[in-house]
Amino acid sequence: MSREDTDVVSCRSCGEDIVFLLTASGRKMPVDAATVEAGDVYYESGKHVSHFSTCDQPDRFRKPR
């Protein structure tokens, strides 16, 4: 999977463009599309911005741990 293969979708809450990247544990995480580059597959703290930190209603979609 590469950035070209990853669908950019709109957040159902705020409408911003997001991409789902894999975490180290293999779960999909919403990330602000502007921080994703070609070839990115895994979420990297410091490089990507979790959409949970920028969305106006993150708890609406956040799953419990």
Q: In what order do the strands lie in the sheet with 28-32?
A: 9-10, 17-22, 28-32
Domain range summary for the chain, segments of one domain joined by +: 9-60
The model carries a pTM of 0.80
Q: How far is CA 17 from CA 6, 9, 25, 64, in A?
A: 12, 6, 24, 23
Report the C-alpha dihedral over residues 24, 2, 9, 29, rounded to 10 degrees.
Answer: 0
Question: pLDDT digits over 13-63, tens only?
Answer: 999 999 999 999 999 999 999 999 988 999 999 999 999 999 988 777 666
How far apart are the C-alpha atoms of 10 and 58, rounded to whole Å?
14
- Cα–Cα distance, 51 to 29 (Å, whole number): 8
